[in-house]
């Protein structure tokens, strides 16, 4: 199974812990290595990483990791990393054929989420988002998380500021080529984000949901989340 990891952004809120967010260590291991390890445990064996900010250093580390762990890691470069994250995903359009799992370099997760996602049935021409229905989850930063209004089958609305929501976006997706088509349309309409593409797919009734069933995930995008990650890693939960 192919996996695409977005690691192109600057991560300015984590600057106190390191200049390159993917290489910031948690328990002595760079966060991107932890993401790749969890992805492999979930069944992903062909990895593509989109780099941008300080990309040379990140790619050098990934080459060393690939050799050390005998992993297939392919590089994709997004020179426009300052722009929204949808452009990083779109940069992989010509590199990836067939379905793939998409995630972010700063999202730690239980590998069982990926394993169950891959084994689920998926419709052609759809994109599936892993959602967390525990909206009282104390791990989540309500000021930053992307919110989702959905049913057990489809997404009705998604965004950071929507008020009517019943789930959280975990940043883990099962994608078909429909993702690239939706990114194109969303960009034409003025939104270059992944969220914009998911709203396009939702309007087409092509955005599906997958319940992570309470499994642990964490978006490590600020010092508070970093502190939580240290605790969970030390406890062996991530």
Report the C-alpha gap between 135 and 143 in whole angstroms.
Answer: 13
Task: Show the DSSP H helices in the chain as ranges.
Answer: 31-41, 55-69, 86-90, 111-119, 178-188, 194-203, 223-234
Contact between 76 and 50 under an 8 Å Cβ cutoff? The reply is yes
**What does the DSSP 8-state code read for residue 15?**
G
Which residues, 6+ apart, have CB-to-CB distance to 119 below 8 Å?
none
Range of the domain at 8: 2-124+171-208+216-234
- Say if 55 falls within a structural domain: yes
158 token code pair: 């998604």
Distance CA 222, CA 176 (A): 31
| DSSP notation for 35-60 | HHHHHHHTT--EEEEEEBTBHHHHHH
Domain-located, residue 82: yes
Which CATH number characterizes residue 61's domain? 3.90.550.10
In the chain, the N- to C-terminal Cα span, in Å, equals 22
Instruction: Say if 156 falls within a structural domain.
Output: no
What is the number of domains present in the chain? 1
Residue 77 lies in a domain: yes
Q: Is residue 135 part of a domain?
A: no
Averaged pLDDT for residues 36-59? 97
> How confident is residue 209, by pLDDT bands cut at 50, 70 and 90?
very high
Residue 203 inside a domain? The answer is yes
- Is residue 5 within 8 Å of 39, Cβ to Cβ? yes
Average pLDDT over residues 72-87: 97
- pLDDT value of position 150: 97
* Beta bridge mates, 2: 46, 100
Q: Report the C-alpha gap between 202 and 196 in whole angstroms.
A: 10
Band of residue 14 on the pLDDT scale cut at 50, 70, 90:
confident
- What span, in angstroms and rounded, lies between the C-alpha atoms of 201 and 169? 15
Per-residue pLDDT of 106-159, as tens digits, reads: 999 999 999 999 999 999 999 999 999 999 988 899 889 999 999 999 999 999
C-alpha dihedral over 84, 127, 226, 45, to 10 degrees?
A: -110
Euclidean distance between CA atoms 218 and 132, whole angstroms: 11
Whether 85 is covered by a domain: the verdict is: yes
- The number of C-alpha atoms within 13 Å of 47 and in the hemisphere containing its C-beta is 31
Considering the chain, what percentage of its residues have pLDDT values greater than 90?
Answer: 90
Question: How far is Cα 231 from Cα 55, in angstroms, rounded to an integer?
Answer: 29
Picking from 93, 109, 83, the residue whose alpha carbon sits closest to that of residue 196 is 83
Mean pLDDT, range 14-21, rounded to an integer: 82
Q: Residue 38 and residue 29: Cα distance in Å, rounded?
A: 13
Closest by CA position to 189, among listed 207, 203, 173: 203
Is 158 domain-assigned? no
């Amino acid at each position: 199974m192919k996996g695409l990891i977005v690691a192109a952004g600057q991560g300015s809120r984590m600057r106190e812990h390191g200049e390159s967010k993917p290489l910031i260590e948690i328990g002595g291991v760079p966060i991107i290595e932890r993401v790749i390890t969890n992805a492999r445990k979930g069944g992903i064996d062909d990895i593509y990483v989109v780099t941008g900010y300080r990309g040379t250093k990140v790619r050098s580390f990934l080459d060393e990791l690939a050799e050390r762990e005998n992993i297939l890691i392919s590089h994709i470069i997004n020179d426009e990393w300052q722009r929204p994250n949808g452009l990083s995903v779109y940069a992989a359009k010509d590199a990836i054929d067939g379905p793939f799992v998409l995630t972010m370099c700063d999202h730690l997760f239980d590998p069982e989420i990926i394993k169950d996602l891959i084994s689920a049935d998926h419709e052609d021409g759809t994109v599936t988002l892993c959602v967390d229905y525990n909206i009282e989850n104390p791990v989540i930063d309500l000021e930053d998380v992307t919110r989702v209004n959905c049913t057990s089958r489809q997404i009705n609305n998604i965004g950071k500021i929507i008020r009517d929501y019943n789930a959280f976006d975990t940043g883990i997706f099962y994608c078909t080529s429909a993702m690239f088509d939706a990114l194109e349309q969303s960009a034409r309409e003025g939104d270059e984000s992944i969220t914009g593409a998911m709203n396009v797919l939702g309007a087409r009734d092509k955005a599906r949901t997958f319940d992570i069933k309470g499994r642990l995930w964490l978006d490590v995008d600020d010092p508070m989340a970093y502190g939580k990650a240290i605790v969970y890693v030390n406890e062996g939960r991530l």
